[in-house]
């Protein structure tokens, strides 16, 4: 799959693409990322890509014309017979969820539009954007961080990037939050006394360990994100044992 990123700050992407376990997806070309500096598509001597908004108001607006030229260059370079979606990162967009990530991870890619300033000329958005995404109910300085988050989430789902079962146990993979993890030492010495690893994790009984982990996931989700429990119930994803666990904590 191929992602083309239209941005004013391509230098923000290079460290992420070359480091961490997800670099395997980028270096192998499983997730092929092309960066398109927007100022390269400005035509005046000052390489201007923004101007004051009509009607007054604070801040600047990204101009439609450089974006039109950048997108045309992307599409010509891709040579796609069917244009991939142009994704605009904005607080008004759909929140990025694991389901959204999985859809992109199995698709052909996208053009990622990283806005800045007060926003982008609406005429460009109306002409080209059919997918708007948001990290959450807060405002960032630009679309680069959401674009990086999406690329990271998509890359880790590619074959061979993680050990086989890792992402299958992630939070949201089954609609619930992932439970706690423990590692060495078996007993952690603290000023509040010794803190042992839960005994079930040392038992060697794989079925009991799996049930304990599921119960911990259910309890954590019920405490932190009860909306996810309601959604799992509505979708029929909870077993009778799951329901017994939830009833034991009054859910």
Six-digit token string for 107:
């698709």
User: Which residues sit opposite 110 in a β-bridge?
Assistant: 3
Single out the catalytic residue among 146, 156, 215, 242. Answer: 156
- 170: annotated active-site residue: yes
Single out the catalytic residue among 170, 211, 213, 233. Answer: 170
Report helix, strand or coil for 3. strand
**Alpha helices (runs of H) in 9-143, residue ranges in sequence order:** 14-18, 23-28, 64-78, 98-105, 122-128
Report helix, strand or coil for 179. coil
State how far the Cα of 70 lies from the Cα of 27, in Å rounded to an integer.
25
Single out the catalytic residue among 48, 65, 91, 186. Answer: 91
Q: Give which of 155, 111, 172, 183 is closest to 23, Cα–Cα.
A: 155
- 52: annotated active-site residue: no
The residue behind tokens 């958005």 is 125
**Alpha helices (runs of H) in the chain, residue ranges in sequence order:** 14-18, 23-28, 64-78, 98-105, 122-128, 144-155, 206-224, 226-234, 240-248
Q: Residue 155: phi, psi to the nearest 5?
A: -65, -40
- 91: annotated active-site residue: yes
Single out the catalytic residue among 102, 118, 132, 178. Answer: 118
State how far the Cα of 182 lies from the Cα of 200, in Å rounded to an integer.
12
- CA 149, 151, 157, 159 torsion-angle sign: negative
Catalytic site positions: 91, 118, 156, 170
């Amino acid at each position: 799959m191929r992602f083309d990123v239209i941005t004013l700050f391509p230098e923000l992407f290079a460290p992420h693409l070359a480091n961490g376990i997800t670099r395997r997806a980028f270096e192998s070309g499983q997730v092929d990322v092309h960066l398109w500096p927007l100022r390269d598509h400005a035509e005046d001597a000052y390489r201007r890509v923004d101007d004051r908004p009509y009607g007054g108001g604070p801040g600047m607006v990204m101009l439609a014309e450089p974006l039109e030229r950048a997108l045309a260059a992307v599409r010509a370079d891709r040579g796609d017979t069917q244009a991939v979606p142009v994704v605009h990162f904005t607080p008004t967009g759909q929140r990025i969820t694991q389901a959204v990530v999985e859809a992109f991870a199995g698709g052909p890619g996208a053009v990622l539009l990283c806005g800045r300033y007060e926003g982008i000329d609406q005429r460009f958005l109306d002409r080209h954007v059919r997918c708007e995404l948001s990290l959450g109910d807060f405002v960032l300085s630009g679309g680069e961080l959401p674009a990086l988050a999406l690329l990271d989430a998509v890359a880790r789902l590619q074959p061979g990037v993680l050990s086989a079962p890792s992402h299958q146990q992630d939070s949201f993979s089954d609609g619930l939050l992932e439970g706690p993890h423990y590692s060495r030492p078996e007993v952690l010495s603290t000023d509040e006394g010794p803190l042992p690893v839960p005994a079930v994790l040392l038992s060697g009984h794989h079925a009991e360990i799996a049930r304990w982990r599921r119960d911990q996931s259910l309890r954590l989700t019920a405490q932190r994100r009860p909306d996810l429990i309601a959604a799992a119930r509505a979708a029929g994803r909870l077993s009778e044992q799951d329901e017994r666990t939830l009833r034991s904590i009054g859910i």
